[in-house]
Amino acid sequence: MLCEMGLYAQKQEPAYDPHYLIIKVDQNYSLRTSDQNVFDLNKFKKEHQGSSFSPLFKQQQKSSQPSVLEGIFKIEFKDPQDIKAIIRSVENLGNIIYAEPVYLDYQLQIPNDPSANPSSGNQYYLTNINAYNAWDVSTSDTTITVGIIDTGYNPDHEDLQNIQYNYADPINGIDDDGNGYIDDFMGWDFADSDNEPIADQDDHGSHVAGISSAETGNAIGIAGVGFNARYVPVKIFQSSNGFSNNAYESIIYAADQGYDVINLSWGSINTFLQHRQDIINYAALEKDVVIVAAAGNTPDNLNFYPASYDNVLSVAASDQTDNKTSFSTYSYHVDLMAPGIDIYSTKNGSYGTDFGTSFASPMVAGAAALLRSHFPDWSAIQIMEQLRVTSDNVYDVGDNSNYDSLLGKGRLNIHSALTDSTSKSVRLSSLDINNGVGSYAYFG
């Protein structure tokens, strides 16, 4: 199992899958007959016997606007390859926009310490994030869908029964809805390529799903932050070895299926790839999906992806008193915090407590489900910005002042997000300074 098992993840060269390569081909490149400096598909296949190509974007309906995903191909090799060497050989070709590896992503779960003395069923975090007052304003509804892209779920758990089933594709061996996934009635297992996104020994996905989407008001177990909103399990970690597989392809699937919110409680350090940013942009901007991700469990100022991508709501972890936890990553890419320690939720066969930014993220995802129901005309970006700008300022708590602007706007406050109509969102996209002499700025 590849995951952050301790409080301090090692900083090292990101690992990538030697069986895959991503390329983006310029669809508008004017090919000249004499031009030899271009990517030649037939020549490449001949050099790499057994390789196969599949486009990330599968056009399902005509559109007047081109998609950012057009021209992106995932190449699969039969045998392991020196991917970095192949990238060097193709990245400067005239019709190649970029060539990138497929980095491996890791779960953010930090296993329970037996001496942690977890609370017995006490969801203290619901008070911290002002959920009880928020539920007086909105309890969402069953048409809102949260995609839990993770390790799968336990279909027999008493509190994880509120799945948003895909009735357009019942289990009959036929791809009734024509989306390329046969019988994806209750989500999809991208890791093992089947229609059973069921957790194996790892209960990370079940724990995440419970926080955002446990069945609420059924007099059993816990309450999910999203209240009436339903969820869909999408599995991306393989049963055989725990490695991620097709993680970002699953985001495209969730976007194309029309999910309102997706939660990503996983990732890796310093693994920016342009094709992954393109996928995020496709989901958030073209398909209007709220994307929420865990900021990471390495206590340092660094970039953790997918949380640090543009158009993703990055969530760091606070403790019971709104201090930054000892393990949480911090950076200028973080948007807000939510409780991430002693978080009681569903396990594969029971209930239990865990800690990590993995479990702060689904609180924000559940909150986004409440807002999507309450503000049906708002875009995904507006929902994400509302959650950010209405969070409570906690920089005067404990040692938080040592992380000025690195913990986002503050700690999640769902009631404020639902009722505050005055807070404004401003994002600085570029900065140009000129004092008449040059690009210099001086204090005062």
Closest listed residue to residue 14, CA positions, set 69, 77, 90, 83: 83
* Catalytic residue check, 415: no
* Catalytic residue check, 150: yes
Confidence band for 419, pLDDT divided at 50, 70 and 90? very high
Residues 304, 305, 307: CA angle, nearest 5 degrees: 85
Considering 150, 202, 260, 319, which one is annotated as catalytic?
150
Mean pLDDT of 407-422: 96
Q: What is the pLDDT of residue 121?
A: 52
Q: What is the pLDDT of residue 284?
A: 98
Considering 239, 358, 373, 416, which one is annotated as catalytic?
358
Question: pTM score, two decimals?
Answer: 0.87
Confidence band for 107, pLDDT divided at 50, 70 and 90? low
3-state secondary structure string across 131-174: HHHHHCCCCCCCCCEEEEEECCECCCCCCCCCECCCCCCCCCCC
Residue 436: which region, alpha, beta or left (left: phi > 0; alpha: psi -120 to 50)?
left
Tell me the CA distances in angstroms from 20 to 38, 52, 234, 239, 243, one per residue in order: 20, 10, 21, 19, 14
Tell me the CA distances in angstroms from 324 to 340, 384, 390, one per residue in order: 9, 21, 18
Q: What is the pLDDT of residues 153-198, one digit of tens each?
A: 999 999 999 999 999 999 999 999 999 999 999 999 999 999 999 9
Considering 159, 184, 202, 204, which one is annotated as catalytic?
204
Report the run of H or E that residue 417 belongs to, with start and end: helix 414-419
If you average pLDDT over every residue of the chain, what do you get?
89
Mean pLDDT of 258-274: 97
pLDDT at position 36 over 70: no
Tell me the CA distances in angstroms from 357 to 6, 108, 292, 378, one per residue in order: 13, 7, 11, 27
Q: Which of 89-103, 243-257, 305-319, 385-399 has the lowest mean pLDDT?
A: 89-103
Q: What is the pLDDT of residue 291?
A: 98
Task: Tell me how long the chain is.
Answer: 444
Confidence band for 120, pLDDT divided at 50, 70 and 90? very low
* Catalytic residue check, 156: no
Give burial (CB, 10 Å; 0-12/13-18/19+) of 410.
Answer: buried
